[in-house]
Amino acid sequence: MRKRLLPLFLLLLSPVTLWAWGVDGHRAVGKIAEQHLSRHARQQVQRILGTETLTLVSTWPDEIRFYPEFKETGPWHYVNTPSGLNHDQYLQQLNAQTEPNAYNMLAVKLKELKDPTKTQAERAAALKFVVHLVGDVHQPLHAGHAEDKGGNDIKVKYRGKDTNLHSLWDSGLIDYQGLTYTEMATQYDRNLRRKEVKKLQKAAPEQWLWESYQACERLYSETPTGADLNYTYYPQHAELMRQRIVEAGVRLAYVLNEALK
């Protein structure tokens, strides 16, 4: 038992966090997706996951990756690119990367999910990664720069407490609002019209990442290392946070509706 707890203990000591959206954020994405699944996709998800749900499996890839047998999955959660790229340059950078990252591993796991020759356990693992990675690529700092570890090295104060830019966007803003993931999913999804949902779902994963990259570039430009962020930061950025989470949820539903036809 002591050996099984060691990776978690090391994680708590680590200054680098890569848990996009934290537990509540990822579960809100999963919950929103569940609300937009087709009946057939919902049945297929239940068949693959058994008693588990999209909501609860959404954090599984974060929970396992600190164990030695899953160590290779660490880089699967983000995509690093240089700053100052235009749209075409960004797509070139995205497609030129051959090392595993959130973009290319999402494609791999989708392929595995669709493959009828895979075992149920293999398809379940693939589905869990798809749920998680769609959430990851919508968090702006998961489309950041390698040199600052996606904002982990940008130390800031938020409401008088030490943190970093990445952690602030993973969970700091979500925690500040004080909602459960169920409340988040209900509130964020409430005002979306059907036309808006369809428009969001037309975008490909490359576009999701481009949106995150653009948002990330803005966050970098306005948040130098050592910035003291006060009570105005949340109201100025809450809409972006909500937007990215709800976009992740409705796009995840579309991806699964298509993959599980």
Question: Average pLDDT, stretch 56-76?
Answer: 95
Rg, the chain, Cα only:
18
Asked if 216 contacts 162 with a C-beta cutoff of 8 angstroms, the reply is no
Q: How many residues does the chain have?
A: 261
Q: Look at residue 18 in the predicted model and tell me its pLDDT.
A: 55
Token pair belonging to 73: 């999955």
Question: Average pLDDT, stretch 104-123?
Answer: 97
Q: Rounded to the nearest 5°, which phi and psi values hold at 37?
A: -70, 145
Task: List 229's β-bridge partners, or say none.
Answer: 158
Segment 198-245, tens digit of pLDDT: 999 999 999 999 999 999 999 999 999 999 999 999 999 999 999 999
Q: Look at residue 19 in the predicted model and tell me its pLDDT.
A: 61
Residues contacting 127, CB < 8 A, separation 6+: 45, 48, 49, 57, 109, 113, 256
Mean model confidence pLDDT for the chain: 92
Least confident of 7-16, 110-119, 168-177, 212-221: 7-16
SS3 98: coil
Q: Look at residue 28 in the predicted model and tell me its pLDDT.
A: 98
Q: Residue 143's pLDDT band (boundaries 50, 70, 90)? A: very high
Q: Look at residue 48 in the predicted model and tell me its pLDDT.
A: 97
Segment 6-39, tens digit of pLDDT: 343 333 333 345 567 899 999 999 999 999 999 9
How far, in Å, CA of 116 to CA of 118, rounded? 5
Domain over 17-259 is classified CATH 3.30.1340.30: no
Percent of the chain past pLDDT 70, that is, above it, reads: 93
Q: Look at residue 192 in the predicted model and tell me its pLDDT.
A: 86
Q: Look at residue 10 in the predicted model and tell me its pLDDT.
A: 38
Q: Answer whether residue 183 shows pLDDT above 60.
A: yes
Asked if 151 contacts 5 with a C-beta cutoff of 8 angstroms, the reply is no
C-beta atoms surrounding 151 within 10 Å: 25
| Alpha helix (H) residue ranges in 73-172 | 87-96, 102-114, 120-137, 165-167
| Alpha helix (H) residue ranges in 102-232 | 102-114, 120-137, 165-167, 173-177, 181-190, 194-201, 205-222
| DSSP state for residue 139 in the 8-state scheme | S
Task: List 161's β-bridge partners, or say none.
Answer: 158
Q: Answer whether residue 2 shows pLDDT above 50.
A: no
CA nearest neighbour of 61 among 70, 53, 52, 69: 70
Q: Look at residue 194 in the predicted model and tell me its pLDDT.
A: 87
Q: Answer whether residue 3 shows pLDDT above 60.
A: no
Percent of the chain past pLDDT 90, that is, above it, reads: 89
